[in-house]
Structure 1
């Protein structure tokens, strides 16, 4: 038997080669990894809490994205700086490119890094309505969608009022700039302390839709849309000096008017709706944005955390969430938690900016009088005849009718719109501020709806006619009006202004003495229907005194809106003369067809709401107070 001996394999000539040794070294290496100069492409968004990791808070610096910087071999958080030349920004791109996500992230990151008293947001959402879930943040004063025309109108009015107030304070205090203004807000003795807001970011998502007028109701007045565009333009132009910053999301850059474009210092490009819309100088770089990559963008100008200028660098917009998930999946379900987290973060703050108030649907007389300057019976006429009757939408300040300067008040509207209630409120304001010796009323009330509006002691005395009948000053039908009209004229006759009266005598109406006379008329449309002269009713008796400011006569009348156009066009009758003379006009709810022109909007309104018109004054939506 032969024993076979296993021999070792021949030595591998390469086993101890340099190549083998290097491979063994690589296979068993446990040191630091090799430097990778290139980072992975920006494919997924980074959550706000990850963007803020290691973030050093800085005023008006808000991290919103990750930026890829090939030259520096890194990807770091990228922040918008709402200061200096980048006070305002715009982000453009096709639908679903990530504009709304950017604005959501701006709000969430801004609220996470700034106290509510230091940064606020006012939003117009003309896009997807996805800004509304963030309205609960203490930093967000209001979010209005395109169907909420009243809230849109109120937002623009509020921001305009804030801008006007700030400019006036800065102008009145020479040498005051915005930084000084912010410091003075903490000084209770300074006028700036009355401003409840600080730096404001005014967001308009869906600018292309906002700049068309198809979102306005069919009964919008001529020039209404242009007014809104002008308000935004004014805010953009003035904002840099008064702490108002615009943030606009739009599909096409060509939709941004030159007057606004020049005020936008920071422009961010997402995947464009039209490559030709970006401009020749950007066409090449914008083409580098990967298609079907929502959130991928290019910055035109900004600074990173390290202060290095970066232009035309690729960005990935962050995800507006705080749960550590770097994804947009299920984002809608996270907003409630995000709002709760940020609210909890700032719960110990001592002051919070107010939410934007709307014009209330129901308004008591006491609500108005407590806000209005008081007046006593012994005060001068101009104070006693400044009548607080409602609130103005633009400022939420009392609507005060100065019926010494403009003596007459005309009210139009359909049935149950609030016309008669207006007369009750106006009568209450007059009798509250004047004694029975200072004012007397004549009332025309065919339907009896003014019962109790004027206390008996304020009524002008009745008169006995030659035939022994009594001509009452509370007139309930056309027969009584026929009797009383000549007596009203006779009572006013001594008040006719004589010739060659000096300016001082006119101011004192030295040629007559006695109380002011108020003719309070409900349902003027019934008066003209039953009067023999119809549209010319009471013109012969009252026209001269309606046209005079020195007769101490006030014509206050309510009429159905169906007669509005005819009466104001003809300028006939007491009401037509008062319209032509100019005064205070309240236009309540009615049908659009009742006024063919676009100068005066007749539209459906809630009870008590009206359009207030006065010459030499901006028109305003108002809510008239109701009596108990």
Structure 2
């Protein structure tokens, strides 16, 4: 090893990789640097997807050598990771050698592999892999996902903070720009360090090694001895490792067959191809193109027409081992057809079951009706391909029938070209690479649709070309009967050659890419060397595609790309504008309750349309159901923003229960939002539901004061709401049943339909996102099983009734015109009043607010939250009262306020108040005195009636101190049942303890169904406090009075100067 290569660990590792590993191994390592970690399976997929065809062909042994090299370190059982110091350099090499598209393909492969194999444990690692892939494919979505996940993780046992820090750093990484680095090094003053940096750069794939060595030669002649010596050392190290300077001549270049020569096209005048090669073709030349030359130099044509038209088709097979040139041949066939046929005569559907390494830029041809890639290992995409193909066959069949029952597409086209006004029906050539893997991974329906093309494609103008690396008789099966021409390049097994040709000749071919046999009839197979479209820039595939790209009408799509990009909300709503009357709004939809919420996919109909939900009518509620991180909260925000951009805060208001996965704070800025209640804010949740229940009642009786418009109640977590607020279930169910008809709508989210306890039939719109258990789907369990693991993906019932896939619109606006999130943009543009808040209980009720003129035994004690009205204790109906609460909650203040009310507002001769303070030690004496008073009022043995007298109120504070078997109040127990008749009223305030739970006095009060109040604390009595969890201000309690609903109450404080902290 040279001295300079050991100067840094990174350089040392790169040099070892160049010298100790097989050629091309470092290129594979660049691909392996993309994931956070990798296992043997993922590395294998990287190799077979990107390194089985020229120019770089790697064998299976390279995988083990690479993982055992110093480039990788163990990261867990069966897991490996690239040396962290090398990752940035390797990614720069990947970008320089293969371009950003290759980086995206590797990211997509990582995402698909994670979805299928799901090998990553713990869960943090799985999400690191997904986030790594997403950060490359769609960086903005990755950043949003990470932000939302971090909000959800706050305070919960999910990902640790270190994980978020690491992932945020990873998201900010980007592949280095090798050209920029190289230019910077050239601009710097030469030093030994810059020379070493040039050498390190030269070790990477994609580096301009020839230029670097030439630069080093100049530096070796410089006047700086240290720089010159280092330049010589670095140059001497690099020279044996690379061929540089003039581009190397590929092996067998003298036998290269130029496709453009075969087509008689001038490589330097390709821009004229539309006027020359696109001339009308004779019946003989239609679908007939050269694909190579025989060893004698004679052109070999492939004619896709059927035998009745003296062709070789309509369907065929192409087989060839890795490195045989099969992909190049397929590109040649497509390019030849595109250069000689207009898009209104021939279209292509290109299917690459793995990645778009086969067809590449051909996807941009105007002839291309779709490029279906990365189908494995995603069953959803394979099903989508089946539907697209089946739908196209049905469309063509219907077109022929409706146009006059034409027997074939050829007859139809002849009639059209003769002058009849008919829709164009180009021949569709379906080319499916790696079809055997697709059949193995896909459902039987895929083979069935291939069979259908085989049977009916001739008449419908659909040609099928199946291609594979490996082939068995079982895989080919009954499809063999439909394949009339066979092309076999070099095969790995003799049996594969026999299947294609009937002989072993293809297996015996030399290891020269592009050499093969064409078998298209009863005679012997024709040996040929495939034509290529590579070399000088004017002869390149990209140049051809650039020339043809806009030269003809684009093909009618047969395969639409799957839904991956979330469109922004304004892309669906239309242009937004600001007016003084409406603020920021979508003018064309103002006031509408029919709004776009998603894009839905109809591969069979070859359409992707906006999905509109209709919130008008009696069922104008929305159910959003999906697993954690499936996108429920973003979907709800999208709906809220859509409504806010079509209605003013005067016309529509929103009230939210729950934090919407941490995004409720974002909605608070929206002027339409009148309130957001935390899950633990019992009072605000109750007031919101109860107020809206009353609003519906007022509108039913035409008593609405017009302060509110159309109102939406958002419940973020259906199951959590039911658990925490069981006493509000009936009220919410009532809103679901009747609210929409009176302008009160629900938007309810749940993790699955089992948690959705409201009547589903009341919800006219049901968005079903990805479910943890697809079998619980109420729309279509089979369709639910195919929903990808992408935020916002789900299924929904289309207007036709069919269940279709959808991708929710993004809750944001496109471009830079409006600030993000939309809540800010709407708020900035609105100059009117915001949505009114729901009236709430006051946190403090001073004593002077107690109304006078009440009936003397019907005593006001506070304001209830049900209707914000006075709460009275009618001691004639419920003679006793029990208050439970922890210290500092307001028990003593309540007793003092009650005593003040009784003594100040009830005539003195009508009431007597006895205070018992356990700390005074006079409880027994006062109770004995009280018993003496009340026993005088009991009927005598002669049957006389109860004797009248002033009402006696015994107010006992801190009773938990006295409670137990020896309680001084125990003698009162026998008289409590007669309280109403003898004017005895026992009011006890105590703290809940284990001892008080068995106290005879308290037990007797409960037996008598006495009115009670709980001032919540850690150990409140759950008998009446269930459903009222959460912090409350001092003096806020839960009250239960006979024959009335349990509700919250805010107590009056005692008169000024008599307040207490207990």
Q: Is the 8 Å Cα contact of residues 414 and 562 (structure 1) preserved in structure 2?
A: no
- C-alpha deviation, 1:282, in angstroms: 2.5
Structure 2 partner of 1:562: 993
Deviations 1:140-185 (A, max 9, x none): 233344xx3234x642453144325533662xx4xxxxxxxxxx5x
- State how 1:27-426 maps to structure 2 within 5 Å: 34=553, 37-38=556-557, 41-53=562-574, 55-67=588-600, 77-84=610-617, 86-125=619-658, 128-145=661-678, 148-151=679-682, 154-156=684-686, 158-164=688-694, 166-167=696-697, 170=700, 173=701, 184=702, 191-193=703-705, 196-207=707-718, 213=723, 226-227=726-727, 229-257=729-757, 260-278=759-777, 282-286=780-784, 289=787, 291-302=788-799, 311-324=802-815, 334-335=820-821, 338-349=822-833, 352-356=834-838, 359-366=841-848, 369=850, 374-376=851-853, 383-426=855-898
Q: Deviations over 1:262-298 (max 9, x none)?
A: 322222233443333336x724544665x34432343
- Which whole-Å CA distance do the structure 1 matches of 2:274 and 2:898 have between them? 108
- Give the superposition deviation at 1:515: 4.0
Unaligned runs of 5+ in 2: 1-265, 267-271, 281-338, 344-545, 576-587, 1057-1062
Seen in structure 2, the aligned counterparts of structure 1 residues 582 and 498 have a Cα distance that, compared at 3 Å, is farther
Give the direction of change, closer, same or farther, for the CA distance of 1:346–1:435 in structure 2 (3 Å limit). Answer: farther
* Cα displacement string for residues 175-214 of structure 1 (whole angstroms, at most 9, x for unaligned residues): xxxxxxxxx5xxxxxx221x74443323233445556x5x
Matches within 5 A, 1:436-585: 436-447=908-919, 476-478=920-922, 481=923, 483-493=925-935, 495-496=937-938, 512=948, 515-527=950-962, 534-535=966-967, 537-540=968-971, 543-544=974-975, 547-562=978-993, 565-566=996-997, 569-572=998-1001, 577-585=1004-1012
CA distance in 2: counterparts of 1:202 and 1:32, whole angstroms = 54
User: Whole-Å Cα distance in 2 between the matches of residues 315 and 124 of structure 1?
Assistant: 26
SS at match of 1:113: coil
Report SS of the residue matched to 2:681.
helix
| Secondary structure at 2:1044 match in 1 | coil
Structure-2 residue corresponding to 1:453 = none
Q: 1:35 to 1:396 in 2, by over 3 A?
A: farther
Aligned to 1:187: none
Partner SS for 2:981:
coil
**What secondary structure sits across from 1:406 in the alignment?**
coil
In the TM superposition, residue 232 of structure 1 has moved relative to its aligned partner by: 3.9
1:91 is paired with a residue whose SS is: strand
User: 1:549 Cα shift?
Assistant: 1.5
Deviations 1:83-112 (A, max 9, x none): 236422223334333222110111111112
TM-score, structure 1 as length reference: 0.67
Deviation per CA, 1:539-573: give whole Å up to 9, x if none. Answer: 5467436623133332223233226744xx4534x
Q: Could you tell me how far apart the structure 2 residues matched to 1:209 and 1:439 are?
A: 48
Q: Is the 8 A contact 2:677 2:684 kept in 1?
A: no
The one-character-per-residue Cα deviations of 1:374-425 (angstroms, maximum 9, x if unpaired) are 332xx6xxx3333332333444443322223222222223333322111012
**CA distance, structure 2, for counterparts of residue 167 and residue 156 of structure 1:** 17
- Give the Cα separation in 2 of the matches to 1:260 and 1:500: 63
1:426 Cα offset (Å)? 1.3
Deviations 1:2-46 (A, max 9, x none): xxxxxxxxxx9x999875668999999999984764366543222
* 1:469 match: none
Answer yes or no: is the 8 Å Cα contact 1:207–1:250 preserved in 2: yes
RMSD value over aligned CA atoms? 4.4
Matched-pair contact (CA < 8 Å) for 2:843–2:1033: yes
Quote the Cα distance in structure 2 between the aligned partners of 1:356 and 1:577. Answer: 40
Q: Secondary structure at the match of 2:877?
A: coil
The CA distance in 1 between the partners of 2:571 and 2:632, in whole Å, is: 20
Q: C-alpha distance in 2, partners of 1:433/1:115?
A: 50
CA distance in 2, matches of 1:340, 1:15: 53
Count of residue pairs the alignment pairs up: 508
Q: TM-score, normalised by structure 2?
A: 0.42
Residue 899 of structure 2 contacts residue 913 of structure 2 at CA under 8 Å; is this kept in 1? no
Match of 2:197 in 1: none
C-alpha contact (below 8 Å) 1:489/1:542 kept by paired residues: no
Higher helix share: 2
Separation (CA, whole Å) in 2 of partners of 1:540 and 1:411: 20
Could you tell me how far apart the structure 2 residues matched to 1:252 and 1:578 are? 44
The Cα shift of 1:82 comes to 1.2
How far does residue 81 in structure 1 lie from its aligned partner after superposition?
A: 1.4
Q: Secondary structure at the match of 1:101?
A: helix
In 1, Cα distance between the equivalents of 2:604 and 2:1007?
73
Superposed displacement of residue 318, structure 1: 1.6
The higher relative CO (CA closer than 8 Å, separation ≥ 6) is in 1
**Distance change in 2, residues 1:36/1:435 (3 Å):** farther
Q: Which runs of 5+ in 1 are unaligned?
A: 1-11, 174-183, 185-190, 217-224, 303-308, 448-475
State how far apart, in whole Å, the 1-side matches of 2:1009 and 2:898 are.
18
Other structure's SS at 2:820 match = helix
Does the 8 Å CA contact 1:119/1:198 hold for their aligned counterparts? yes
Change (3 A) 1:527 1:390: same
For the structure 1 residues 560 and 33, does the alpha-carbon distance in structure 2 shift closer, same or farther, using more than 3 Å as the test?
same
> Do the aligned partners of residues 269 and 433 (structure 1) sit closer, same or farther apart at CA in structure 2, a change above 3 Å counting?
same
Three-state SS of the structure 2 residue aligned to 1:622 is strand
1:110 to 1:311, Cα distance in 2 relative to 1, 3 A: farther
- Structure 1 residues 570, 168: CA separation in 2 closer, same or farther (over 3 Å shift)? farther
**Residue 43 to residue 539, structure 1, CA distance change in 2 (3 Å):** closer
Residue deviations 1:347-394 (CA, integer Å, cap 9, x gap): 325xx543245555444334x53xxxx332xx6xxx333333233344
Larger Rg: 2
